[in-house]
Amino acid sequence: MIHSDQGSQFSSGDWQSFLKANNLIGRMSRRGNCNNNAGAESFFQLLKRERIRRKIYSTRQDARADVFDYIEMRSCVIGKTIF
């Protein structure tokens, strides 16, 4: 499942085709309800700032492993799972 706002890029035919081709379900917030994905947006902002933008990964697998480690570390620090 992918959650997005109601921007035109997320309601376009190309986006809908991408979702279908990858067996994903698109979900949008209601008009005027911008806070329901604030937690996820905050998490991904931190992930990019603290981890991804500070490193150059030689392979996709290295990037996946590093992001996994970051998520696991944050979960342990917070004392609960993020998702």
Q: Please, what sign has the CA dihedral across residues 83, 41, 65, 10? A: positive
What per-residue confidence (pLDDT) applies to 58? Answer: 95
Low-confidence ranges of the chain (pLDDT < 70): 1-11, 28-37, 75-83
CA–CA separation, 24 vs 2, rounded Å? 7
**Is 52:67 a contact under the CB 8 Å cutoff?**
yes
Rounded-to-integer distance, Cα 12 and Cα 57, Å: 32
Q: What pLDDT sits at residue 13?
A: 81
Predicted local distance difference test score (pLDDT) of residue 24: 84
Q: Which helix (H) or strand (E) holds 43?
A: helix 38-50
Orientation of helix 38-50 relative to helix 60-78, angle to 10°: 120
